[in-house]
A = this chain, B = another copy of it.
Amino acid sequence: MTIETAIPQETGAPAGERRGRRGREERARAAPQAARKPQPRLPFAPVAAVSADELEAIHQASLTVLEEIGMDFLHVEARAILKEAGADVDPDSERVRFDRGLVESVIGRAPTSFRLHARNPDRDMMLGDGYVAFGSVASTPNVADRQGGRRPGNRADFQNLVRLCQSLDAIHIVAGYPTEPADLHASIRHLDALYDMLTLTDKPIHAYALGRERIVDGIEMARIARGISRDQLEREPSVFTIINSSSPLRLDAPMLEGVIQMARANQVTVLTPFTLAGAMAPVTIAGAVAQQNAEALAGLVLAQTVRPGAPFVYGGFTSNVDMKSGAPAFGTPEYMKSALLGGQLARRYGLPYRSSNACAANTLDAQAAYESVFSLWGAIMGGANLLMHGAGWMEGGLHASFEKMVLDADMLGMVAEFLTPLVVDADSLALDAMREVGPGGHFFGCAHTQARYRTAFFAPMISDWRNYETWREAGSPTAYDTAERLYRDKLAAYAEPAIDPAVAEELAAFVARRKAEGGAPTDF
């Protein structure tokens, strides 16, 4: 495989300038860890779903949509910013139309890749440039484990899922609330939840764009957790937010506030239209993706107008619905094609690309697995740089599953290993081993094998490779059974990551102060 896989390197300032005092102290204090695998990176070119001409036709269709139909921006300031940028803002409605030149003018402003900082610098992730970062499940209203069944999201399960995210190396980013901690009052939920995410893990995190207060609080807590100045924060993206358009062709106020605040702080916007073909978008994949593309480009214009160069990720989430019932479907052939096509568009615009590990299954059966791997196939071969819902997503996002999180993490580990370049050299070509063993021999005992067999292959957590008889004697466990046992084992072995006590104190004080102030409005 031809692109060198390396531990991500900062492309900006030298390392010595990158971290404040606390960052350095924290790093120095961190306990020695087992060598962590480098971030996965695509070792081959992403796969194209359409020709260059067809891609251009989709691009042009999107520009026509934005020029002729326009989009509704349900936010006064956003419309004012866009008017100032030269968009055609209807004074009597929320409609904004963009001339082609305006859209084209912002393409190329955002970085093609950047580092997403975690409070533990060893957990930083690159977004873009062939790198892939695996995010956890996020934003499910319900949570399930096999024993406890399916139930509304709550803080205890939320915390346990965050702990599981921390324990599973294949999960790189806590990409939102793995389940909604709905027992926390909406006005202060984001404060407690972000506090949990910033203390129970040291991986990069997501903050929700649900009105100005919440996203501003999220940005500030990410800054405090890293122990850095506002200036440094603005140089170093340290939190990301998912912006979903209310497709078709509409962005609502809480989301637009998020785009504006995140761009102002130079933090990461991932604009992901929710374009289910046949429901919120045309029933044809080309049309649904053209609409997805129009909505993403509109968000790009706003973000790059607020702050040219603000990190921006192109999100693709186009899937189809079950036309018998209207239910959303995931991991379908149409989803896979959309995932490839979204990646082509993102690359055309020089933007990192977000896709997802999605499935519509209600239980952890073969369907959950095949829909997930088909989603991964489309996402990875499409060149996704940020994989949302990478571990734990079930039922079209209506519940997070503890067992699925472990199973997905195992599958993500396999994907990462698949992306690790094959080594082809004299040693791996093993001519001497073949000479030693010869025709009709066996390789297990030879020196070449003995020197390597312990680490030669990826060792999955769940796959049961025992022979049938042994497996049956062990009670015929399924992958679901094994995942259930493993998630409990992982939680039992969980250790909270080190944190500078001063940082933890400052975070807690911030939460207390903002709670005393009443938190965030709940009438958005």
Contact = CB atoms under 8 A, between A and B. Distances in A.
Instruction: Enumerate the 7 nearest inter-chain pairs by beta-carbon distance, A residue then B residue, closest first.
Output: A287-B430, A282-B430, A333-B417, A369-B369, A373-B373, A366-B369, A249-B439
Contacts of A465: 322, 325, 327-329, 360
A493 interface: no
Interface string A419-431: 0101111011111
Nearest to A65: B434
A242 interface: no
Contact of A449 (B282, B434, B437, B449): B282
A278 B480 contact: no
B422 A341 contact: yes
Contact of A69 (B399, B411, B435): B435
Contacts of A15: none
Contacts of A44: 47-49
Which among A285, A370, A423, A438 has the greatest number of chain B C-beta atoms within 10 A? A370
Interface string A55-83: 00110010011001111100000000000
Contacts of A428: 284-287
A398 interface: yes
Which among A291, A373, A420 has the greatest number of chain B C-beta atoms within 10 A? A373
A337 interface: yes
A260 interface: no
B373 A326 contact: no
B443 A281 contact: yes
Contacts of A411: 370
Given A47-B47, A465-B325, A286 B336 contact: no
Given A329-B457, A443-B279, A456-B278, A69 B438 contact: yes
A448 interface: yes
A441 B250 CA distance: 10
Given A2-B51, A49-B422, A439-B69, A453 B329 contact: no
Contacts of A65: 431, 434
Interface residues of A, number: 125
B250 A440 contact: yes
Interface stretch (A123-131, A196-204, A466-474, A504-512): A466-474
A100 to B, nearest CB: 14
Copies of this protein in the complex: 2
Contacts of A442: 279-280
A18 B444 CA distance: 51
Nearest to A48: B44
5 contacts: A50-B422, A249-B434, A283-B433, A329-B457, A399-B468
A355 interface: no
A448 B283 contact: yes
A377 interface: yes
Contacts of A425: 57, 286
Interface in A211-248: 246, 248
A479 B365 contact: yes
A411 B367 CA distance: 10
Contacts of A503: none
Contacts of A366: 364-366, 368-369, 407, 462, 478-480, 483
Contacts of A72: 439-440
